[in-house]
Structure 1
Amino acid sequence: MSSPTPLIDISQVLELHRSTVELWHLQPVENTYQGVLELVCQQHIFNYELWHQEDIARSRDVTDAEIAKVKRAIDQYNQARNDHIEKLDDWLTQQLEVNGVSPKPDAKLNTETPGSAVDRLSIMSLRLYHYEEQLQREDVDQDHLARMQARIALCQEQRHDLSRSLSELLEEIQAGTKMHKTYRQMKMYNDPTLNPYLYKAAK
């Protein structure tokens, strides 16, 4: 009996991550995808924006006011990124229900959700792009280039391992041998009723 069609095609996710990072460095960021890839792309957008705000935050030639603005943007993008990890896991839960898939009695639980693994692949695509960008520099020596090439090779190996493991996890979830849950991250610092600095200041 043939295996069911995967609910998320990880090869498509990898290509989306790779191609959009290249495209967004040349033209404005936009999400032209549909279905689950629309969710994947939106989550990827938040990582893309977050990555570049983090670069600015470490610059020494911007004012304190600009740094404060960047730090708030980082906080917002990070919250949105985490929200979309949960949205991706929620989408998977819905699809499992639609397809009548439920975990078997002896199904085990993975330590990482598919949404979290997709997030890690998104970050890896950004890391690879920017390491490969280093190879185009003319103001660095051969030691720098060799170090970048070694890091690129390691990132490629890690991306391969993670994408393969994620594909296997999704297969096991669809087969019912692994359980799937959305883990709510419930960030406290963004909630004015839970962050002591915010609710004490409000009084």
Structure 2
Amino acid sequence: MTSLPTAAEIVAAHERWLAGAGWPQTAASPAGDLWSWIEANHRHNSLLWAEEDLARRTRVADAEIAANKRAIDRYNQARNDATERVDELLLVALGLVDAASARTDAPRPTVAAGARLNSETAGSMIDRLSILALKIRAMREQAARGDVDVAHVEASRRKLVQLEQQRADLAGCLDALLDDARAGHAYFKVYRQFKMYNDPRLNPALVAESRRAG
């Protein structure tokens, strides 16, 4: 079986990438391996986070907010695509999916009898760890501000402790799931998100718009 990353390694990678000069703008396209897709997920979460901040502005032209919203849609789709790819690669490495079907809309599980199904996938847990890394970085910045009162700093420090605990709890759950999956006691599936609002064939508003244009 291919060696799988631990939650501690993923958390450290999230922090390292966030600290990288020019990242996420300078990140390379995924190379196809598990780590490159974990980075791609984190990269698109980071870009999405920045656009979400910009989309809350109230003193810019509506066109700028519309551009932010469209970017949010793109990054959210890419983040979900990367999460699904992480799940595919983990399941193949664990021997829990037929490799030839892993990238289809209906991957075929190859699971030992009696194994329990985990409702949350390992990829979605890694995605949540990525988001927590972004929250922790942002709260660290708030706790270090010198232009706010003491109450703001103290409140930010308390929230930072809570966020770090949440990340530690989630990391432990990820390790437990992968350990149980290795042992044949648990499994998860690839859950396709089928983001209908991004698909011009499925979004009724886009279908209607296309018909009017035609």
TM-score (norm 1): 0.90
Aligned twin of 1:147: 155
Cα displacement string for residues 20-60 of structure 1 (whole angstroms, at most 9, x for unaligned residues): 11225678532499732111001100000000000000012
Instruction: Measure, in 2, the Cα distance between the counterparts of 1:146 and 1:12.
Output: 30
Check whether the contact 1:14–1:121 (CA below 8 A) recurs between aligned residues: yes
**Distance (whole Å) between structure 2 residues aligned to residue 185 and residue 26 of structure 1:** 27
Alignment of 1:164-203 (within 5 A): 164-203=172-211
CA distance in structure 1 between the partners assigned to 2:15 and 2:89 by the alignment: 23
Q: Indicate yes or no: 2:117 matched with 1:109.
A: yes
Q: Which has the higher contact order (CA 8 A, sep 6+)?
A: 1
Q: Percent identity?
A: 38
TM-score scaled by length of structure 2: 0.86
> 1:57, 1:32 → 2: CA distance?
26
Equivalent residue for 1:42, pick from 37, 40, 49: 40
**Letter of the 1:170 counterpart:** L
Deviations 1:83-111 (A, max 9, x none): 11100001112212399995321111111
Residue 185 of structure 1: SS of its match in structure 2?
coil
Q: Secondary structure at the match of 2:146?
A: coil
Identify which range, 188-197 or 46-55, moves more after superposition.
188-197
Structure 1: tracts of 5 or more residues without a match? none
Query: What is the alpha-carbon root mean square deviation over aligned residues?
Result: 2.4
Tell me if structure 2 keeps the 8 A contact 1:43–1:84.
yes
Amino acid at match of 1:11: A
- Structure 1 counterpart of 2:14, which letter? H
Tell me the matched-pair count.
200
Provide the secondary structure at the position in 1 that maps to 2:72. Answer: helix
Unaligned runs of 5+ in 2: 99-108
Query: Are residues 99 and 80 of structure 1, via their aligned partners in 2, closer, same or farther at CA, if it must alter by over 3 Å?
Result: closer
Are 2:22 and 1:58 equivalent residues in the alignment? no
Indicate if the aligned counterparts of 1:31 and 1:41 stay in contact, CA closer than 8 A.
no
